[in-house]
């Protein structure tokens, strides 16, 4: 079965990740070929390849070539994170933050910070949200301001609808969010007109865009500046390409993940260049701010 992966070439170059990308999906498989891939990834993970550690974590998560083991999966994500994999840092954080047997919010926030410092806009956004939720972690609006500003500067699509929610609650103002207030003040999309644009999108979902850009359409215009390349590979073709790249490179040795810069490996053929699933991101967002937020985000982005 062919898997469709949407690759943002600019993100590949800067080793950053966006929740709008579609991750290659790994399913359960105990066939000989799947077991063989698992063994190869295990070998390269032991040799110190961060991308191999991350993919091995995925194989443990979904039972591809091995039995499902979330304990072993999280161990590999954390090891990949230690070796500088932003993707590993983010996945370890998501496992700690989502409800379940391994939930540890403090550890999750710690790994989110590592990923956010590595330019993960998803991590920066979630940190900005978490620091406004005293029932989830601890309230610190100065830190929320810091991380939301970074996410906004990275053009994260979720920031504006979240700010709109904060504004309705009376939380978003110049005193509480000085950096974000100053940044958003210069934006073409005002928070006051955002809701109007959402209502227009909701009432006329099938209308063709008119020449006068509404707020939600302005967002699409900004997004269109980023080149989008659609490439189709089978899952095992991705495995083969990534494993081949390891044979032409050196392990990270604890420094940082080389990602798409490995000799012979393009972002299109790297599982570590794909992102966490939209569903996984949505679940945590809903856990933090409710279903209304996801609805608003999708209306604004036209999703």
**Residue 117: which of 48, 207, 15, 35 has the closest Cα?**
15
Residue at token pair 């999906």: 25
Rounded Cα distance between 89 and 126, Å, is 13
pLDDT at 241 over 50: yes
Residue at token pair 């399913």: 27
Q: In DSSP terms, which residues pair with 232 in a beta bridge? A: 4
Q: Cβ distance 73 to 105 under 8 Å?
A: no
pLDDT value for 145: 97
Domain total for the chain? Answer: 1
pLDDT band with cut points at 50, 70 and 90 for residue 26: confident
pLDDT at 298 over 60: no
Domain membership of residue 37 as a residue range: 2-301
E runs forming strands in 15-66: none
| Cα end-to-end distance, the chain, whole Å | 25
Q: Cβ distance 21 to 271 under 8 Å?
A: no
Q: What is the CATH number of the domain that holds 273?
A: 1.25.40.10
| pLDDT per residue as tens digits for the range 259-277 | 433 333 444 445 655 445 5
Q: What is the mean pLDDT of residues 10-39?
A: 63
- How many C-beta atoms lie closer than 10 Å to residue 140's C-beta? 13
Check residue 190 and give left, alpha or beta (phi > 0: left; psi -120 to 50: alpha). beta
| pLDDT per residue as tens digits for the range 69-94 | 999 999 999 999 999 999 999 999 99
Check residue 120 and give left, alpha or beta (phi > 0: left; psi -120 to 50: alpha). beta
Rounded Cα distance between 134 and 153, Å, is 25
Per-residue exposure over 82-117, b if at least 16 CB sit within 10 Å of its own CB, e if not = bbbbbbbbbbbbbbbbeeeebeeeebbbebbbbbbe
């Amino acid at each position: 079965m062919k898997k469709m992966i949407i690759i943002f070439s600019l993100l590949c170059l800067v080793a950053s990740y966006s929740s709008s990308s579609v991750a290659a999906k790994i399913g359960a498989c105990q066939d000989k070929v799947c077991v063989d891939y698992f063994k190869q990834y295990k070998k390269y993970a032991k040799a110190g390849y961060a991308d191999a550690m991350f993919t091995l974590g995925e194989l443990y998560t979904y039972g591809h070539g091995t039995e499902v083991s979330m304990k072993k999966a999280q161990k590999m994500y954390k090891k990949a994170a230690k070796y500088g994999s932003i993707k590993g840092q983010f996945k370890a954080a998501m496992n700690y933050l989502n409800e379940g047997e391994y939930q540890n919010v403090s550890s999750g926030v710690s790994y989110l910070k590592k990923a956010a410092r590595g330019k993960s806009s998803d991590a920066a956004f979630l940190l900005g949200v978490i620091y406004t939720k005293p029932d989830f972690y601890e309230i610190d609006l100065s830190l929320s301001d810091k991380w939301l500003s970074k996410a906004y500067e990275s053009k994260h699509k979720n920031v504006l609808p979240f700010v709109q929610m904060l504004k309705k609650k009376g939380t978003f103002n110049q005193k509480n969010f000085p950096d974000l207030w100053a940044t958003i003040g210069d934006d073409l999309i005002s928070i006051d007109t955002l809701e109007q644009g959402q209502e227009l999108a909701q009432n006329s979902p099938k209308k063709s865009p008119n020449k006068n850009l509404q707020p939600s359409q302005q967002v699409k215009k900004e997004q269109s500046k980023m080149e989008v390349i659609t490439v189709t590979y089978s899952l095992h073709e991705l495995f083969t390409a990534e494993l081949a790249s390891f044979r032409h490179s050196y392990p990270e040795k604890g420094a940082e993940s080389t990602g798409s810069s490995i000799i012979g490996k393009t972002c299109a053929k790297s599982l570590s260049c794909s992102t966490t699933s939209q569903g996984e991101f949505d679940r945590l967002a809903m856990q933090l701010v409710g279903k209304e937020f996801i609805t608003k985000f999708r209306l604004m982005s036209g999703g």
